[in-house]
């Protein structure tokens, strides 16, 4: 039995793990799928002041208030900024880090700094159309590689707007996260991003880490649930 904390990416919420969570729990694992401030069922709390630090505190508090240790901390997309920051502050609680097409936080670097040029320019144009210039509209699922129309419609119905501050804020990383040597990066290749390509190659070349490529959308936890669960089980076995 392992303890998983699954952290959603941009515009999503805890709902995005619904194809993963029941099966992990049926296998005997403890699973938490928190929704961060400003997203999903907590979208009513969204303001322009919700930033990276807000979301880091969200996840730190899950670990603290649920008394979680030996955690497999999973991040998808934007959540890599969050979970890496959390792991840097409380490495003693983390057994393994798993990233799914995630932006891995580095000291003094924002997610905007790591976006491909085409995506950053698209977001900048979208913000210009907003009189307050802080609300980032959700992308179409097709843009992130979701091809099934029914799945795309479900994701579209669930996604919410996001504060631009979350992606503009720069991370503070001390290096304590380096204590966590059990790491896996899942590269979902259906979403073009050279940063993710370089990251999975680095993980594949590392003697202790795992780099895995899946031919699926950016939302691999939805469109390739079987393969993602298999990876999660492998990680759980590696810490048992």
CB 129 within 8 A of CB 164: no
Helix (H, G, I), strand (E, B) or coil at 94: strand
Return the percentage of the chain with pLDDT > 70, whole number: 98
Is the model's pLDDT at 227 over the cut of 90?
yes
pLDDT, one tens digit per residue, over 167-190 is 999 999 999 999 999 999 999 999
pLDDT at position 131 is: 60
Is the model's pLDDT at 124 over the cut of 80?
no
Mean pLDDT for 22-42 is 98
Sorted by where each starts, the structural domains of the chain and their CATH numbers stand as 3-239 (3.40.50.1820)
Is the model's pLDDT at 201 over the cut of 70?
yes
Of 130-139, 146-155, 183-192, least confident by mean pLDDT is 130-139
**Helix 79-89, helix 52-65: angle, nearest 10:** 50
pLDDT, one tens digit per residue, over 64-117 is 999 999 999 999 999 999 999 999 999 999 999 999 999 999 999 999 888 877
Q: Distance (Å, rounded) from C-alpha 17 to C-alpha 15?
A: 5
Is the model's pLDDT at 133 over the cut of 80?
no
Which listed residue (18, 43, 77, 238) is catalytic?
77
What confidence category does residue 212 fall into, taking pLDDT thresholds of 50, 70 and 90?
very high
Examine the residue annotation and report whether 110 is marked as an active-site residue of this protein: no
Mean pLDDT for 125-149 is 84
Is the model's pLDDT at 34 over the cut of 90?
yes
Mean pLDDT for 180-206 is 96
Q: What mean pLDDT is reported for the chain?
A: 95
Buried residues in 210-228 as b, exposed as e (16+ CB within 10 A)? bbbebebbbbbbbbbbebb
Q: Distance (Å, rounded) from C-alpha 76 to C-alpha 88?
A: 17
CB 78 within 8 A of CB 167: yes
Of 43-57, 135-149, 216-230, least confident by mean pLDDT is 135-149
Sheet holding 30-32, edge to edge: 30-32, 3-7, 71-76, 94-100, 183-188, 210-214
Residue 230 DSSP label: H
pTM of full prediction above 0.85: yes
């Amino acid at each position: 039995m392992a303890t998983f904390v699954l952290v959603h990416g941009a515009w999503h919420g805890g709902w995005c793990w619904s194809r993963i969570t029941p099966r992990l729990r049926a296998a005997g694992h403890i699973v938490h799928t928190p929704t961060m401030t400003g997203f999903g069922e907590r979208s009513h709390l969204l303001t322009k002041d919700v930033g990276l630090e807000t979301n880091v505190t969200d996840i730190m508090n899950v670990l603290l208030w649920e008394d979680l240790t030996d955690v497999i901390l999973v991040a998808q997309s934007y959540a890599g900024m969050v979970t890496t920051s959390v792991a840097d502050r409380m490495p003693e609680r983390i057994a393994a880090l798993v990233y799914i097409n995630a932006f891995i936080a580095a000291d003094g670097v924002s997610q905007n700094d790591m976006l491909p040029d085409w995506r950053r320019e698209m977001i900048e144009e979208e913000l210009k159309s907003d009189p307050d210039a802080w609300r980032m509209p959700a992308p179409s699922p097709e843009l992130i590689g979701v091809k099934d129309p029914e799945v795309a419609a479900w994701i579209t119905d669930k996604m919410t707007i996001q504060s631009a501050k979350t992606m503009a804020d720069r991370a503070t990383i001390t290096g304590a996260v380096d204590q966590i040597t059990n790491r896996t990066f899942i590269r979902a290749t259906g979403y073009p991003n050279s940063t993710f390509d370089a990251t999975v190659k680095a993980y594949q070349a590392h003697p202790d880490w795992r780099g895995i490529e899946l031919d699926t959308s950016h939302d691999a936890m939805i469109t390739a649930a079987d393969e993602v669960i298999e990876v999660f089980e492998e990680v759980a076995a590696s810490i048992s």
